[in-house]
Amino acid sequence: MNICVYGASSTTIDKAFIEAGEILGEEMAKRNIGLVFGGGAAGLMGAVARGEHRFGGRIIGIAPNFFNVDGVLYEHCTEFIYPENMRERKMKMEELSDAFIITPGGIGTFDEFFEILTLKQLNRHNKPIAILNTNGYYDSLQKFIQNGIDNHFMNEECKKLYFISDSPAELLDYIEAYDPTETPISKFKDIPHN
Protein backbone atom coordinates (compact mmCIF):
# COMPACT_ATOMS: atom_id res chain seq x y z
CA MET A 1 0.00 0.00 0.00
CA ASN A 2 1.10 3.56 -0.76
CA ILE A 3 -0.34 6.62 0.97
CA CYS A 4 -0.09 10.09 -0.51
CA VAL A 5 0.65 12.63 2.20
CA TYR A 6 -0.03 16.31 1.55
CA GLY A 7 1.41 18.96 3.85
CA ALA A 8 3.33 22.16 4.45
CA SER A 9 6.77 22.95 3.10
CA SER A 10 7.21 25.84 5.54
CA THR A 11 10.38 25.97 7.62
CA THR A 12 8.89 28.26 10.28
CA ILE A 13 6.09 26.10 11.70
CA ASP A 14 6.00 24.98 15.32
CA LYS A 15 8.02 21.86 16.12
CA ALA A 16 4.88 20.08 17.40
CA PHE A 17 3.68 19.83 13.79
CA ILE A 18 7.07 18.53 12.64
CA GLU A 19 7.13 15.89 15.40
CA ALA A 20 3.63 14.69 14.47
CA GLY A 21 4.71 14.42 10.84
CA GLU A 22 7.76 12.36 11.74
CA ILE A 23 5.63 10.05 13.90
CA LEU A 24 3.24 9.58 10.97
CA GLY A 25 6.12 8.63 8.65
CA GLU A 26 7.59 6.25 11.23
CA GLU A 27 4.23 4.55 11.78
CA MET A 28 3.71 4.18 8.04
CA ALA A 29 7.10 2.51 7.61
CA LYS A 30 6.49 0.17 10.56
CA ARG A 31 3.25 -0.95 8.87
CA ASN A 32 5.03 -1.41 5.52
CA ILE A 33 3.11 1.48 3.97
CA GLY A 34 4.96 3.45 1.30
CA LEU A 35 4.95 7.24 1.11
CA VAL A 36 4.00 9.22 -1.99
CA PHE A 37 4.56 12.95 -1.51
CA GLY A 38 5.51 16.21 -3.14
CA GLY A 39 9.22 15.59 -2.69
CA GLY A 40 10.05 18.51 -0.40
CA ALA A 41 12.79 18.32 2.21
CA ALA A 42 11.34 20.97 4.53
CA GLY A 43 8.22 21.37 6.64
CA LEU A 44 5.79 18.51 7.08
CA MET A 45 6.72 17.01 3.72
CA GLY A 46 10.29 16.54 4.92
CA ALA A 47 9.17 15.44 8.39
CA VAL A 48 7.02 12.58 7.11
CA ALA A 49 9.75 11.51 4.66
CA ARG A 50 12.37 11.50 7.44
CA GLY A 51 10.13 9.36 9.62
CA GLU A 52 9.52 6.94 6.76
CA HIS A 53 13.24 6.81 5.91
CA ARG A 54 14.24 6.25 9.55
CA PHE A 55 12.50 2.85 9.48
CA GLY A 56 13.49 1.88 5.95
CA GLY A 57 10.19 2.68 4.22
CA ARG A 58 9.55 3.22 0.51
CA ILE A 59 9.46 6.88 -0.52
CA ILE A 60 8.28 8.20 -3.88
CA GLY A 61 8.90 11.91 -4.36
CA ILE A 62 7.09 13.76 -7.14
CA ALA A 63 7.99 17.31 -8.16
CA PRO A 64 8.62 19.28 -11.36
CA ASN A 65 12.24 19.96 -12.29
CA PHE A 66 11.97 23.64 -11.37
CA PHE A 67 11.92 22.53 -7.70
CA ASN A 68 15.23 20.71 -8.18
CA VAL A 69 17.48 23.31 -6.58
CA ASP A 70 19.84 22.94 -3.62
CA GLY A 71 18.10 21.78 -0.47
CA VAL A 72 14.51 21.92 -1.74
CA LEU A 73 13.95 18.25 -2.57
CA TYR A 74 14.29 15.33 -0.15
CA GLU A 75 17.44 13.41 -1.09
CA HIS A 76 16.64 9.96 0.35
CA CYS A 77 13.70 9.02 -1.87
CA THR A 78 13.54 5.45 -3.13
CA GLU A 79 12.27 6.89 -6.42
CA PHE A 80 11.84 10.42 -7.74
CA ILE A 81 9.46 11.36 -10.54
CA TYR A 82 9.75 14.69 -12.37
CA PRO A 83 6.46 15.61 -14.07
CA GLU A 84 6.23 18.58 -16.43
CA ASN A 85 4.10 20.78 -14.16
CA MET A 86 2.05 21.00 -10.96
CA ARG A 87 -1.10 19.57 -12.52
CA GLU A 88 0.74 16.49 -13.72
CA ARG A 89 2.32 16.23 -10.28
CA LYS A 90 -1.07 15.98 -8.57
CA MET A 91 -2.32 13.46 -11.12
CA LYS A 92 0.73 11.24 -10.62
CA MET A 93 0.42 11.45 -6.83
CA GLU A 94 -3.22 10.35 -7.07
CA GLU A 95 -2.43 7.57 -9.54
CA LEU A 96 0.29 6.00 -7.38
CA SER A 97 -1.66 6.16 -4.11
CA ASP A 98 -4.16 3.89 -2.39
CA ALA A 99 -5.17 6.52 0.19
CA PHE A 100 -4.56 10.16 1.13
CA ILE A 101 -3.56 11.91 4.35
CA ILE A 102 -3.74 15.66 4.70
CA THR A 103 -1.39 17.11 7.32
CA PRO A 104 -1.39 20.78 8.34
CA GLY A 105 -0.44 23.09 5.50
CA GLY A 106 -1.21 26.22 3.57
CA ILE A 107 -2.75 27.09 0.19
CA GLY A 108 -1.13 24.21 -1.69
CA THR A 109 -2.29 21.67 0.88
CA PHE A 110 -5.82 23.11 0.90
CA ASP A 111 -5.88 22.89 -2.90
CA GLU A 112 -4.77 19.25 -2.83
CA PHE A 113 -7.30 18.33 -0.14
CA PHE A 114 -10.28 19.94 -1.84
CA GLU A 115 -9.35 18.50 -5.23
CA ILE A 116 -9.05 14.93 -3.95
CA LEU A 117 -12.22 15.38 -1.87
CA THR A 118 -14.13 16.73 -4.88
CA LEU A 119 -12.95 13.82 -7.04
CA LYS A 120 -14.27 11.41 -4.41
CA GLN A 121 -17.58 13.24 -4.21
CA LEU A 122 -17.85 13.06 -8.01
CA ASN A 123 -17.27 9.29 -7.92
CA ARG A 124 -13.88 9.50 -9.67
CA HIS A 125 -12.30 7.41 -6.89
CA ASN A 126 -13.31 5.75 -3.63
CA LYS A 127 -10.01 5.79 -1.76
CA PRO A 128 -9.81 6.72 1.92
CA ILE A 129 -9.05 10.33 2.83
CA ALA A 130 -7.83 11.19 6.32
CA ILE A 131 -6.87 14.47 7.98
CA LEU A 132 -4.17 14.78 10.66
CA ASN A 133 -5.56 17.43 13.00
CA THR A 134 -2.43 18.24 15.01
CA ASN A 135 -3.06 20.90 17.68
CA GLY A 136 -6.62 21.38 16.35
CA TYR A 137 -5.23 22.88 13.13
CA TYR A 138 -8.23 21.73 11.09
CA ASP A 139 -10.94 22.55 13.66
CA SER A 140 -11.83 25.66 11.66
CA LEU A 141 -12.05 23.56 8.48
CA GLN A 142 -14.63 21.37 10.20
CA LYS A 143 -16.64 24.49 11.10
CA PHE A 144 -16.29 25.80 7.54
CA ILE A 145 -17.64 22.56 6.06
CA GLN A 146 -20.46 22.45 8.62
CA ASN A 147 -21.40 26.01 7.65
CA GLY A 148 -21.68 24.87 4.02
CA ILE A 149 -23.93 22.01 5.12
CA ASP A 150 -26.08 24.24 7.35
CA ASN A 151 -26.60 26.63 4.43
CA HIS A 152 -27.47 23.77 2.03
CA PHE A 153 -24.39 24.15 -0.19
CA MET A 154 -23.51 20.50 0.44
CA ASN A 155 -25.01 17.31 1.78
CA GLU A 156 -24.57 16.22 5.43
CA GLU A 157 -23.27 12.93 4.03
CA CYS A 158 -20.19 14.76 2.69
CA LYS A 159 -18.63 14.55 6.15
CA LYS A 160 -18.40 10.79 5.59
CA LEU A 161 -16.01 11.32 2.68
CA TYR A 162 -13.08 11.73 5.08
CA PHE A 163 -11.90 10.88 8.59
CA ILE A 164 -10.22 13.32 10.96
CA SER A 165 -8.05 12.68 14.03
CA ASP A 166 -5.03 14.10 15.83
CA SER A 167 -3.55 10.59 16.07
CA PRO A 168 -1.35 9.26 13.24
CA ALA A 169 -2.07 5.69 14.39
CA GLU A 170 -5.84 6.26 14.25
CA LEU A 171 -5.58 7.64 10.73
CA LEU A 172 -3.66 4.57 9.59
CA ASP A 173 -6.07 2.24 11.38
CA TYR A 174 -8.93 3.94 9.51
CA ILE A 175 -7.15 3.60 6.16
CA GLU A 176 -6.19 -0.03 6.71
CA ALA A 177 -9.75 -0.95 7.74
CA TYR A 178 -11.41 1.12 5.00
CA ASP A 179 -14.18 -0.68 3.15
CA PRO A 180 -15.24 1.15 -0.05
CA THR A 181 -18.63 -0.55 0.06
CA GLU A 182 -19.36 1.22 3.35
CA THR A 183 -18.84 4.61 1.71
CA PRO A 184 -21.51 4.64 -1.00
CA ILE A 185 -20.30 7.66 -2.92
CA SER A 186 -23.32 7.51 -5.19
CA LYS A 187 -25.15 9.34 -2.37
CA PHE A 188 -23.05 12.45 -2.89
CA LYS A 189 -23.40 13.10 -6.62
CA ASP A 190 -25.42 11.21 -9.20
CA ILE A 191 -22.64 11.01 -11.81
CA PRO A 192 -21.74 7.60 -13.25
CA HIS A 193 -18.24 6.28 -12.65
CA ASN A 194 -16.24 5.27 -15.74
Which strand ranges, in their side-by-side order, compose the sheet holding 129-132? 79-81, 59-62, 34-37, 2-6, 99-102, 129-132, 163-165
From first to last of its 194 residues, what are the pLDDT tens digits of the chain?
Answer: 999 999 999 989 999 999 999 999 999 999 999 999 999 999 999 999 999 999 999 999 999 988 878 778 999 999 999 999 999 999 999 999 999 999 999 999 999 999 999 999 999 999 999 999 999 999 999 999 999 999 999 888 889 999 999 999 999 999 999 998 876 565 555 444 44
pLDDT at position 188 = 57
Collapsing DSSP to helix, strand or coil, 134 comes out as helix
